[in-house]
Amino acid sequence: MANTSRRALRLLSLFGSRRQWPLREFATALGVSERTVRRDIETLRELGYPITTVHGPEGGYRLGAGHTLPPLLLDHDQALAVAVALQTAPSTVFGLGDDAARALVTLEQAMPAALRETMKTLRLTRLQNYWEFPAPPIDSAALTAVGAAVSHRHVLVTETLRADGSRPVSGDDDFLPARRIEPHHLVVWAGRWYVVAYDLGDDQWRVHRVDRLRPRPTTQLFSPRGLPHDDLARFVMSSHDRGDTAAAWPCTGSARLRLPAGVVARFAPGGSVVEHLDTEHCRLTLGAWSWAGVAGILATFDTGLTELHPPELARACRRMGRRLAAVADTEERP
């Protein structure tokens, strides 16, 4: 009886992820025979769940339209995955750190005793890796507005903000007029939220940092377009003009690289800025915990470096060159 109850709960959790399931997939997911699945479906029907039979080659079962499942109906693995995610997800949205902690407490209260004990063994302390690129948090209202516009295909009117969140006024060097965009997809990369959008002002695909936008929703609908790239993550990473600003690091420097901006943007670490200079050159601004760290990242591009700034970065690159030359001399000796 206990096994039957567990399978019935597992069945309900599967219905929570999608309304209709082929019988064969149900049996595979539960690790039981199709006959056992049929019996468990009858058990749920006796409990009042409106599950209908779907006939045909891919026949199976469908949870009745309009029927809602009990809240927090998660199986062991689902509950564990959510709890771990709440503890390890980076706080990139304003004010959600405390909300995540409260959600974890609520989840644990709804867990069976055995699973609650398992979670106690997984209490995590978040440690920042020295090479973890910091990202500023986003206003949850702005993220919700952009996400809703993507979901409902509504045109957005956006104003560009400075890194400190202020809006330039007309006459400022960095002032940009409000733009009308069609937001198609949200992409998260290196702790930053980007929206891939079609700009109705200049008829081009662009990438915008969500935390650098002040979105104003509209009710104007737009139709789907052919996307600019099959891999939107790669499109975001390769777009040098995506609105990035240099992240706050103890050491921040820049150099002119003999590589196109699109190539450098794809491989530069999150929190760096790539400026297009010409078809063969760009400027990369980035930071690290030390000048040697900045020099090391620049060395990974394996190309000519000029116009290094500040002088501390140039000295760090020269020191690194001497160390590498010393290694080469050692290897060449008999």
Q: Is the pLDDT of residue 24 over 70?
A: yes
Most confident listed range (39-48, 190-199, 306-315): 306-315
**3-class SS string, 78-103:** HHHHHHHHHHHCCCCECCHHHHHHHH
Q: Which is more confident, 101 or 182? A: 182
Q: What is the pTM of this model?
A: 0.67
Alpha carbon distance 104, 253 (integer Å): 40
Weakest mean pLDDT among 48-57, 106-115, 244-253: 106-115
**Yes or no: is domain 140-231 CATH 2.30.30?**
yes
Q: Is the pLDDT of residue 135 over 90?
A: no
Segments making up each domain of the chain, as ranges: 2-63, 76-120, 140-231, 251-329
Domain 251-329, second-level architecture: 2-Layer Sandwich (3.30)
Q: Is the pLDDT of residue 102 over 80?
A: no
**Yes or no: is domain 2-63 CATH 1.10.10.10?**
yes
Between helix 113-120 and helix 76-88 the angle, nearest 10°, is: 30
Average confidence (pLDDT) over 222-238: 91
Work out the mean pLDDT of the chain and round it to a whole number. 83
